[in-house]
C-alpha cells in the first residue's frame, strides 16, 4: 500500500508527538500522527508540568485544563535525619506566569489528544514506523500496521517523537552517547498518612541514597528511591498503605548526536534522556514540539533553512539541560561517600545562596534558557 499526504508525519504519540501535532495543526499544517501502541499507557511516569510547558500551551487551552485538574506545587523541602535542612518556595522565587503543576502524564496526554481531535486530527494507533529514507523530494517512511499490512508514506518532513529507543534516531544512524547509573531506581504510587506538607515535594537524604516523595492527589503519593529500602525510610514519617503501582527503571543521561538530519527531526526522549530529578523530560519534549512546529511550518512555506535552525537550537539546549540534570542527580544520588558528604554538609548551606537557589529553581521551572524559535 502506498500513500502520500501529510506535510509532516509524526512517529510517536507520547506528550512530545501529541504536542507537535497540535502546534502544527493549529498552524494549518496537514499532519499524520501514528503510535505503535494499541492504547495510550494508563501509567504515568511524569507528574510535574512546569512553567515553560504551561507557557507554550497557553494559547491551545490545554494549560487552563492542566491547571484546573492539577494542583500547584508550593515548593520543595530537603530532609536529613527527619528534619528540614533546606526549603525553597516555587512560585514566589520563580516569578513565572504559571506555577509548577502536578498532573499525571496520562491525563496531560489525554488533554493534548482531546485538543488535537478538536483540530480534526486523531492518533492512528497500532501503527509502527519501521524504516525510512530521505532525498531531495521528501521522506519515504515504511509503516507496519497491527494486521501485518505494510504501508509506504511520502511526506516532506518527518518528526521522530518515538521515545528513548527511537527507531527514527537509529535509522538516521545517530549515536545516543552518555552514561547510565548502575543501580535501578524504584517507584511506588501508594496511599500514605503522613505529616509531610502535601503542598510540597520532598527529598529525604538517606545514608545509601535518597527518597523522593510527592503527593499525587488525596492520600496518594509518588515515591522514588535508589537505596536498598526506600519504603523503610518512608515508614519513619508515615503510615504506608495500599500500593497502586510499583515499577523500577534505569537512569541514563544521553543526547542524540544531532537533533535531526535533513528533513527528519527528533524531539523528546528520542533526542535526550535524563533522570526524573528536575522533572524535565516530558516538559523539554513539549518545548521541542513548540519550536519544531515553528521551524517546520516556515520550512514548508518556502524557508528550508528553518529545519537547520531546529537542529542547531535544540541540540545546544538538549546538551545543556542533560548536563545540568546530570549534576543535580549526582548530587542527590548520595554515592560515592565523598559526594554524599558534599550533599549532606555543603548542599544545605550552599542552597541558601541566592545564586544557587535561582539556578535550581530555574532548572526545575524549565526556564533556565530563553524560549527561542530562531538562532
Check binding of 25 to ligand FAD (CB under 6 A).
no
Check binding of 46 to ligand FAD (CB under 6 A).
yes
Residues 325-364 that bind ligand FAD (CB under 6 A): none
In the bound state with ligand FAD, the residue whose beta carbon lies nearer, of 31 and 48, is 48
Q: What 3-state class would DSSP assign to 373?
A: coil
113: left (phi over 0), alpha (psi -120 to 50) or beta: alpha
Rg (CA), the chain: 21
Q: How far is the CB of 36 from ligand FAD (least distance, A)?
A: 4
Check binding of 213 to ligand FAD (CB under 6 A).
no
User: Residues 230, 268, 326, 365: which binds ligand FAD (CB under 6 A)?
Assistant: 268
User: Residues 285, 326, 334, 365: which binds ligand FAD (CB under 6 A)?
Assistant: 285
Q: How far is the CB of 209 from ligand FAD (least distance, A)?
A: 15
Handedness of CA 356, 362, 366, 371 (dihedral sign): negative
Q: How far is 227 from 210, CA to CA, in rounded Å?
A: 7
Of 158-166, 189-197, 230-238, 296-304, the window that binds ligand FAD (rule: CB under 6 A) is: 158-166
In the bound state with ligand FAD, the residue whose beta carbon lies nearer, of 11 and 337, is 11
Residues that contact ligand FAD, how many (by CB under 6 A): 34
Label residue 120 exposed, middle or buried (CB < 10 Å: 0-12, 13-18, 19+).
exposed
Check binding of 189 to ligand FAD (CB under 6 A).
no
The answer to whether the beta carbons of residues 109 and 44 sit under 8 Å apart is: no
Q: How far is the CB of 352 from ligand FAD (least distance, A)?
A: 25
Check binding of 225 to ligand FAD (CB under 6 A).
no
* Grid coordinates given for 35: 503510535
User: Residues 12, 227, 230, 334: which binds ligand FAD (CB under 6 A)?
Assistant: 12
Check binding of 223 to ligand FAD (CB under 6 A).
no
In the bound state with ligand FAD, the residue whose beta carbon lies nearer, of 249 and 341, is 249
Check binding of 16 to ligand FAD (CB under 6 A).
yes
The angle that helices 105-118 and 15-26 make with each other, rounded to 10 degrees, is 20
| Alpha carbon 164 to its chain's center | 11
In the bound state with ligand FAD, the residue whose beta carbon lies nearer, of 106 and 350, is 106
Taking residue 328's Cβ as centre, other Cβ atoms within 10 Å add up to: 18
Check binding of 94 to ligand FAD (CB under 6 A).
no
Residues 63-82 that bind ligand FAD (CB under 6 A): none
Q: How far is 20 from 28, CA to CA, in rounded Å?
A: 13
Report the DSSP beta bridge partners of residue 139.
134, 155
Check binding of 163 to ligand FAD (CB under 6 A).
yes
CA angle 297, 300, 305 (to 5 degrees): 90
28: left (phi over 0), alpha (psi -120 to 50) or beta: left
Q: Is the bond preceding 284 in cis, omega lying within 30 degrees of 0?
A: no
Q: How far is the CB of 297 from ligand FAD (least distance, A)?
A: 20
Q: How far is 36 from 46, CA to CA, in rounded Å?
A: 20
Q: How far is the CB of 346 from ligand FAD (least distance, A)?
A: 26
User: Residues 32, 45, 65, 343: which binds ligand FAD (CB under 6 A)?
Assistant: 45
In the bound state with ligand FAD, the residue whose beta carbon lies nearer, of 69 and 344, is 69
Which x/- pattern, by CB under 6 A, does the window 96-135 give for ligand FAD? ---------x----------------------xx------
Q: What share of the chain is helix, strand, coil (3-state, %, to 5)?
A: 35, 35, 30
The angle that helices 281-300 and 305-333 make with each other, rounded to 10 degrees, is 170
Footprint on this chain of ligand FAD (rule: CB under 6 A): 11-17, 34-37, 45-48, 105, 128-129, 161-163, 167, 187, 224, 249, 268-269, 276, 279-283, 285
Amino acid at each position: 500500500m502506498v500513500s502520500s499526504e501529510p506535510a509532516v508525519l509524526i512517529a510517536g504519540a507520547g506528550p512530545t508527538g501529541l504536542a507537535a501535532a497540535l502546534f502544527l495543526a493549529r498552524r494549518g499544517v496537514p499532519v499524520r500522527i501514528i503510535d505503535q501502541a494499541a492504547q495510550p499507557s494508563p501509567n504515568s511516569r511524569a507528574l510535574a508540568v512546569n512553567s515553560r510547558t504551561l507557557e507554550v500551551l497557553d494559547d491551545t487551552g490545554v494549560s487552563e485544563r492542566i491547571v484546573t485538574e492539577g494542583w500547584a506545587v508550593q515548593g520543595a523541602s530537603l530532609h536529613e535525619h527527619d528534619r528540614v535542612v533546606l526549603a525553597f518556595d516555587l512560585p514566589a522565587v520563580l516569578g513565572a506566569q504559571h506555577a509548577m503543576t502536578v498532573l499525571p502524564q496520562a491525563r496531560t496526554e489525554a488533554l493534548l489528544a482531546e485538543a488535537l481531535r478538536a483540530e480534526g486530527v486523531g492518533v492512528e494507533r497500532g501503527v509502527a514506523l519501521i524504516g525510512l529514507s530521505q532525498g531531495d523530494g521528501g521522506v519515504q517512511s515504511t509503516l507496519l500496521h497491527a494486521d501485518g499490512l505494510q504501508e509506504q508514506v511520502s511526506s516532506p518532513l518527518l518528526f521522530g517523537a518515538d521515545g528513548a529507543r527511537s527507531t527514527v534516531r537509529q535509522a538516521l544512524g545517530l549515536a545516543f552517547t552518555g552514561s547510565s547509573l548502575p543501580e535501578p531506581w524504584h517507584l511506588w504510587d501508594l496511599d500514605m498518612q503522613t505529616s509531610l506538607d502535601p503542598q510540597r515535594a520532598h527529598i529525604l537524604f538517606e545514608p545509601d541514597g535518597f527518597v523522593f516523595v510527592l503527593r499525587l492527589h488525596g492520600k496518594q503519593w509518588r515515591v522514588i528511591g535508589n537505596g536498598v529500602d526506600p519504603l523503610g525510610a518512608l515508614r519513619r514519617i508515615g503510615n504506608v498503605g495500599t500500593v497502586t503501582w510499583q515499577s523500577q527503571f534505569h537512569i541514563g543521561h544521553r543526547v542524540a548526536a544531532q537533533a535531526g538530519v535533513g528533513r527528519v527531526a527528533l524531539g523528546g526522549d528520542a533526542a535526550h534522556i535524563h533522570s526524573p530529578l528536575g522533572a524535565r523530560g516530558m516538559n523539554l519534549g513539549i518545548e521541542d514540539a513548540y519550536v519544531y512546529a515553528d521551524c517546520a511550518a516556515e520550512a514548508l512555506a518556502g524557508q528550508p533553512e528553518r529545519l537547520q535552525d531546529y537542529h542547531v537550537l535544540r541540540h545546544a539546549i538538549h546538551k545543556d539541560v542533560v548536563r545540568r540534570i546530570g549534576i543535580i542527580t549526582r548530587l542527590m544520588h548520595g554515592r560515592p561517600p565523598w559526594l554524599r558528604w558534599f550533599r549532606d554538609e555543603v548542599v544545605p548551606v550552599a542552597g541558601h545562596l541566592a545564586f544557587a537557589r535561582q539556578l535550581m529553581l530555574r532548572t526545575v521551572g524549565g526556564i533556565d534558557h530563553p524560549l527561542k524559535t530562531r538562532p
